[in-house]
Structure 1
Amino acid sequence: MAQSLYFPLLFIALCSISECVQRQYYFINEGKYWIEAQRYCREKYTDLATVDNMNDMIELNKSVEVNYEAVWIGLQGTNVSNWHWSSGDPVLFLNWASGQPYSGDNCTVIKNGQWSVGACTATWTFICYNMSTGLVFVNMNMTWRDAQSYCRQNHIDLVSVRNQNENQQLEKFINDSQTFGSSVWIGLFRDSWQWSDQSNSSFRYWRTGEPRSQTNNHRAAVEQTSQGQWSIYMYNIEKNRLPFVCHEDKLIVIQQNLSWSEALRYCRQNHVDLVSVQSEEMQYKVMNVVKLASTEAVWLGLRHSCALGIWFWVCGETVCYQNWAPGNGTSEEDCEPTVRSGSVQSGGDQTWISRPETHKLNFICRNY
């Protein structure tokens, strides 16, 4: 039923998965309106709970230690629709066919290399991705939501496409899977939901039949009766005074302009350390917070050793996962007149760039 192919541009083998940092969740067993819960979380922690993936969802559910009908999380309806990848990848590339997207449909198929919107309730074959095997063609007709669930349960998620090269390789893979000319689901979808902390997270965990509507009067809540899946509730009616879950970010942007050594000292004195980015998942978390920076680049816990000619993380790990901008991150860095350290761009593709450690930049600390 399923065929797979290694896809090197989409899947980066990791030599270390020791750091898979999640948010810290806190269940507050007090009934409040959503707005009141949001205010409480922002005063005591970071914000109402944001969820990036199923691991986060599992941790959130673990934090709730009492029986409940529903608890507020930080997802709120808006009047503006945006495109997202199911996997949480940033939307950096679109390849719409002529005249697309032409309707109010909210899910995306690829056909002959070009994308079109389709009704999410239509049934098509689909492409999952898997960190071990790469692309996986699933020769079963499912709705977009069912295809998403299948990919998340059996692989990682529906496939994301980040540039033209990946789109061409995906088209070739589909043609090799003997589905030329057929429509195939990919992971791009559109909705009008936004997280309270303005996170880019595109993770959704709606129960069957939800969301019934998407307006700015609605908020998302986790329901125990639906195995922790989400339903929509009116945020300001008396019966919807619910307990809620806050989160505390494990990454924080410090909007002070310090040298790399000063930033390292600050993080170790006030938090835990400068952030180490040892996986693609952590890179996405960095991308979510770095937009808050006021400098064009932001220090990471990344350092170059002139003696050894290598880059390393201050947590003691060697650099395995890499996201360097072209021309950066070589082993033969110029150590004169000062040592080089690693930073992440706060705009653009948010890739890593090498800078003299004396430059004054914002920086990212980790709290755990």
Structure 2
Amino acid sequence: MVSGQFSFFSCHLYEYHLIKKKKTWDDAQNYCRDKYTDLATVCDVTDTRRLGDLVTTPAWIGLHSIPGRENRKWHWSLPEMPGVEPDDIRSYFGDREPNDSGSDKNCVEITGNKLNDFKCDKKREFICFNDSAADMSSGELSPHNSPQPNDQEDKVVLVTQELTWEEALNYCREHHRDLVSITNPQQQKWVQARAKNASTDYVWLGLRYTCTMDLWFWVNDYLVCYDNWKTPDDGKDLCDYAAAMEKNGEHKWVKKVDTNEFNFFCI
């Protein structure tokens, strides 16, 4: 790709690429999946503002609605991302948007730091992303192709010793690289495939709550974009809590006091 054809910046663990070629939403999706990971996924309002600052004309992102379905939801182009209820994302849209009223405006563009629904067959510039977190062994951003799933899966190690979260962190950093971070549904699948072999009901992840900043963060210093919590925060004091994955069931994440002793995942 020639210099100047795209621009990119890092957001959480994603690299966003603005593609100046104008394509329909479907063609843009195919292009992004061929050259990068997919059309852009937005994690939060901050992402929306950053993407908006990147564009000078309306550009497709990876949000669309599947026509012909009742109880319409918005969906991300990235496979396995959950559907988005209209009320949950309405604040991301501009005034009086989305305004299709059930017509054929089933794709979403970003313009002026806000989202807008538009007809999918119209041609727009578009934003792709690379799942830069895919290099789980280093946590470094990759500017080109994402590693293949099998490469990432091989780097996840289930350690069946029973240690506290802090002890697990030190063990991983001494014998491997770090406790595992999970930043998208694909990584969740690769990690949970090993959970069934654990000898404890829960397995430590590299996610911990910090009281001073009042937020959850990964040990590689990235904020939480994707999550898989079993239950939402209930407002209780979370100091000295860390996240663990369930061994069985849906392998959801649970909040546990970090002095509990569980198996753990290293990378």
Question: Which category describes the TM-score, using the shorter chain as reference length?
Answer: 0.3 to 0.5
Q: Which has the higher contact order (CA 8 A, sep 6+)?
A: 1
For normalisation by structure 2, the TM-score amounts to 0.46
Structure that is richer in strand per residue: 1
Larger radius of gyration: 1
For normalisation by structure 1, the TM-score amounts to 0.34
